[in-house]
Chains A and B, each alone.
Chain A
Amino acid sequence: MKIVACYSIKGGVGKTATAINLAYAAAQDGLRTLICDLDPQGASSYYFRVRPSTKLKADTFFTRRDRLVRNIKGSDYPRLDILPANLAYRDFDQMLAGMKKSRLRLSQLLHSLSDEYDLVVLDCPPNITILSENIFHASDQVVVPVIPTTLSQRTFSQLLGFYKESNLKRKSLLPFFSMVEQRKRMHNEVRQDMRKAYKRFLQSEVPYSVDVENMGVTREPLLVTQPRSPAALAFTQLWRELKQRSNGVSQGELKGAKDGD
């Protein structure tokens, strides 16, 4: 089982759209996929028309696997399930802080689902907390949507800084450009700069699109409603690239610390 997180410190960067379309593409690809909506705002759940669960409490989330499993719902698409958001997630940090091995809890929990799923996609809340550290520890790949603006450049450096300080594997951090507007000069300049500075940037770029914004109205993945649109094609491309990288990761690990930056 692989775990892919969609994460950004900054909100409004296309994180949930990415999570949903990646999960959908993976399920179409034949993987039994679970998307976990960890954001108390519940955008992913909303897109999949699943009501937030009310029964699950923050403390049972990490301690009672059976309760968690009971909250999983089937989406409208084959092989794709969703664990809906829960307002109780707001208390995650407080709760985690009181637990032993608090940084590894999420990893343990998700791996207990490995006989049911081939892939777990995490839609994460936009901040750095103990929960995010759990996410970083648990995930094989952390996909970071970056809008090519100077402000995003700054927040991405913050994230890199946090990884360095916390001794996390920076290799799993995979940024890509999101909501790209070719017409904007700043977008082009920032993309060039950042690609130079950070070699692991994914090749796929998702263009800015009204269709993505409309997902809030259609409440379906873009890959379902507009599969031939440029943004949908970009999400498909992004999924393929992640799959390739995922296969390549082990090779990278074999090469060892030689290119450790």
Chain B
Amino acid sequence: MDHHRTWLADSVNLEEEARGDLLQPFCLQLEQKAHRRYQLLDTFDWSIWQQGEILLYNQTQGEGRSYELWQRGDFFSGTPSQVVPHSGQKHRFWWEFTSLAGSGLQKQLKRSCKLRALLELHPFELDQLRYAVKNEDQKSVAWLEQITLHGKSENQGVRRVLRLVPVRGYERELKKLQKKIQQAGFPLYDGALLEEHLIDSEKFPAQYQSKPSIVITEEDPVREVVLRYMRSLLSVSRENEAGIIDDLDIEFLHDYRVSLRRIRSIISLVSKIFSVEETRWLKKEFAAIGKKTNLLRDLDVYLLEQENYRALVPPVLSGGVDELFESLTLDRKRELSRVRRWLRSAGYRKRLEYMQQRLTGTAETLGTGVRSEQPVLQVASLEISKKFHKIGKLGNKIDSSTSDEEVHDLRLECKKLRYLLEFFGGLFAKKSLNKAVSVLKKLQDNLGRFNDLSVQQESLERFLQDHQQQQSTLSAAVGGLISALSREQREERMRVTENFALFYSPENRQLYAQMVDAGLVNKEVGKSASKGEQA
């Protein structure tokens, strides 16, 4: 938007006001009156918006329905970067845009939305009045547009601007007009019209964050920081409940579970900040809640693997794979309604509300531990250092003869270190932190794939046992899958040693040592393990 030619006009309506002398000696002649109805589409976490784009469903009567993709800065003053006609049922996932595959829209949505569904986030309307600004020859020397955004009702979140659009060769006239509008008292506008309208309508773009970021300073008492985290995480969980119940997409459940898992981790990773009894109670409660959705998440993951599984077995067995997935789909349906009932139940609601109250309560409510009041930097540095060297010890023991169990243990410890870096990352220099995370992430991805493959095999084995009386094609397909997965798993296993070596390299040890140095009271903790390493 050219901000020298756009003015805020919230209190004026050119259609109603006497506009005769606004631009004298030029006069205004109405050329076009347009009214458009839009639905803003985006994922729950506003991923399209975050990419700097806007996806709209244009449902203006008489225009033919269409999807419009806009660059955010172009909205209403430019033209959409893509317009794809579409009527009929609205699409929810990028992969449903098959009929529009050639348009490139599908590809762009795939990049932003991933597994998330498109939701109708906000309906709004746009009224556009376009006047020709005429000189004494009745020649148009500029266009004056009045653009009004409002919600479903005409007075909801009203935002109005005036905008001068130049006509080539009439620069002098344009300058005069700019001056006249300025003099009439309209304030120059360089805001983002749609965003302001959304906020007025209490829709907050990109407010939801699956990983809450909270501001912490080195000296904050650790217990207070942890409580703040737990509160934010718990409310992230709760924000996802409705999406799980409505089964909008599988990321709601995922985010719900991840937040709860983060809460459990922080409780056990940062010990001795609540009283012993309260800590035990918190752990028990959050574990119980998390467990309730294990099966549903597992089923979501299997169903996601559908295409991969198909590629793993020979075509003769594909009928068996179909059966497997039909059966899994049924299981999921059953499991979903169980989870729904649970989330809707008064018992669940009351329990969660009680937890929230406990977390917001005063310092005394969860008791105190010996470390409650220690500065967060001190506790964080110690825990990160300890965890880093613990992984070092575990990893050093791993060779080709180590059991899978020990590899899984390594994975769990890495995950804990990752959480620590996430929770307390704000305390450390960004550059070192990013480096630390990226090395860790590589090892974790490796271990994660290794784990997924073994979980998948186990569950397929269970499936075989549960369905022993089934036809032989199904059993053969499942058997084939298991052996293919086991092959892949061995390959992942081979990469672990290599990735671990990078993680526990002298360079990375140095990085961690420097990172935690300022916060360590007992400097020996940081060194001890590196000594152990040299031994």
A74 in contact with B138 (CB, 8 Å): no
A71 in contact with B169 (CB, 8 Å): yes
Q: Does A49 contact B (CB under 8 A)?
A: yes
Residues of A within 8 A of B170 (CB): 73-74
B168 in contact with A51 (CB, 8 Å): no
- Identify which of residues 472-503 in chain B touch chain A, using a CB-to-CB cut-off of 8 Å: none
B137 in contact with A74 (CB, 8 Å): no
Closest A residue to B169 using CB positions: A73
Q: How far is the CB of B172 from chain A (nearest CB, A)?
A: 12
Residues of A within 8 A of B168 (CB): 72-74, 81
- Known interface pairs A71-B169, A73-B170, A74-B167; A51-B137 also in contact (CB < 8 Å): yes
- Identify which of residues 19-45 in chain A touch chain B, using a CB-to-CB cut-off of 8 Å: none
Q: Does B140 contact A (CB under 8 A)?
A: yes
Q: How far is the CB of B107 from chain A (nearest CB, A)?
A: 26
Most buried by B among A48, A51, A71, A74: A74
Q: Does A64 contact B (CB under 8 A)?
A: no
Q: Does B139 contact A (CB under 8 A)?
A: yes
Residues of B within 8 A of A81 (CB): 168-169
Q: How far is the CB of B29 from chain A (nearest CB, A)?
A: 10
Q: Please measure, in the bound complex, the distance between the C-alpha atom of A39 and the C-alpha atom of B485, giving whole angstroms.
A: 81
Closest A residue to B168 using CB positions: A74
Q: How far is the CB of A253 from chain B (nearest CB, A)?
A: 33
A residues contacting the other copy or chain, number (CB 8 A): 12
Residues of B within 8 A of A71 (CB): 169
Q: Please measure, in the bound complex, the distance between the C-alpha atom of A81 and the C-alpha atom of B140, giving whole angstroms.
A: 12
Residues of A within 8 A of B138 (CB): 49, 219
Q: Does B233 contact A (CB under 8 A)?
A: no
Total A-B residue contacts, Cβ distance less than 8 Å: 28
B169 in contact with A74 (CB, 8 Å): yes
Most buried by A among B138, B140, B168, B170: B168
- Identify which of residues 226-250 in chain A touch chain B, using a CB-to-CB cut-off of 8 Å: none
B residues contacting the other copy or chain, number (CB 8 A): 10
Residues of B within 8 A of A76 (CB): 132, 139-140, 167
Residues of B within 8 A of A70 (CB): 169
Residues of B within 8 A of A49 (CB): 137-139
Closest B residue to A53 using CB positions: B169
Q: Does A50 contact B (CB under 8 A)?
A: yes
Q: Please measure, in the bound complex, the distance between the C-alpha atom of A50 and the C-alpha atom of B140, giving whole angstroms.
A: 10
Closest B residue to A71 using CB positions: B169
Residues of A within 8 A of B169 (CB): 50, 70-74, 81
Closest B residue to A70 using CB positions: B169
- Identify which of residues 135-161 in chain B touch chain A, using a CB-to-CB cut-off of 8 Å: 137-140
Q: How far is the CB of A49 from chain B (nearest CB, A)?
A: 4
- Identify which of residues 37-81 in chain A touch chain B, using a CB-to-CB cut-off of 8 Å: 48-51, 70-74, 76, 81
Residues of A within 8 A of B140 (CB): 74, 76
Q: Please measure, in the bound complex, the distance between the C-alpha atom of A81 and the C-alpha atom of B169, giving whole angstroms.
A: 9
Closest A residue to B171 using CB positions: A70
Residue-wise, chain B 504-524 has the 8 Å CB interface mask toward A (1 for contact) of: 000000000000000000000
Residues of A within 8 A of B137 (CB): 49, 51
Residues of B within 8 A of A219 (CB): 138
Closest A residue to B138 using CB positions: A49
Closest B residue to A50 using CB positions: B139
Q: Please measure, in the bound complex, the distance between the C-alpha atom of A48 and the C-alpha atom of B166, giving whole angstroms.
A: 17
Most buried by A among B138, B169, B170: B169
- Identify which of residues 207-241 in chain A touch chain B, using a CB-to-CB cut-off of 8 Å: 219
Q: How far is the CB of A3 from chain B (nearest CB, A)?
A: 20
Closest A residue to B167 using CB positions: A74
Q: Please measure, in the bound complex, the distance between the C-alpha atom of A70 and the C-alpha atom of B139, giving whole angstroms.
A: 18
Most buried by A among B137, B139, B167: B139
Q: Please measure, in the bound complex, the distance between the C-alpha atom of A81 and the C-alpha atom of B168, giving whole angstroms.
A: 8
Q: How far is the CB of A250 from chain B (nearest CB, A)?
A: 28
Q: Please measure, in the bound complex, the distance between the C-alpha atom of A73 and the C-alpha atom of B140, giving whole angstroms.
A: 11
- Identify which of residues 151-189 in chain A touch chain B, using a CB-to-CB cut-off of 8 Å: none
Q: Please measure, in the bound complex, the distance between the C-alpha atom of A219 and the C-alpha atom of B167, giving whole angstroms.
A: 18
Q: Please measure, in the bound complex, the distance between the C-alpha atom of A48 and the C-alpha atom of B137, giving whole angstroms.
A: 10
Q: Please measure, in the bound complex, the distance between the C-alpha atom of A74 and the C-alpha atom of B139, giving whole angstroms.
A: 10
Residues of B within 8 A of A48 (CB): 139
Top 3 A-B pairs ranked by shortest CB distance?
A73-B169, A49-B139, A74-B168
Contact surface of A with B, Cβ cutoff 8 Å: 48-51, 70-74, 76, 81, 219
A-B contact pairs, 25 of them (CB 8 A): A48-B139, A49-B138, A49-B139, A50-B139, A51-B137, A71-B169, A72-B168, A72-B169, A73-B167, A73-B168, A73-B169, A73-B170, A74-B140, A74-B166, A74-B167, A74-B168, A74-B169, A74-B170, A76-B132, A76-B139, A76-B140, A76-B167, A81-B168, A81-B169, A219-B138
Given contacts A72-B169, A74-B169, A219-B138, 13 further A-B contacts (CB under 8 A): A48-B139, A49-B137, A49-B138, A70-B169, A71-B169, A73-B167, A73-B169, A73-B170, A74-B140, A74-B166, A74-B167, A74-B168, A76-B140
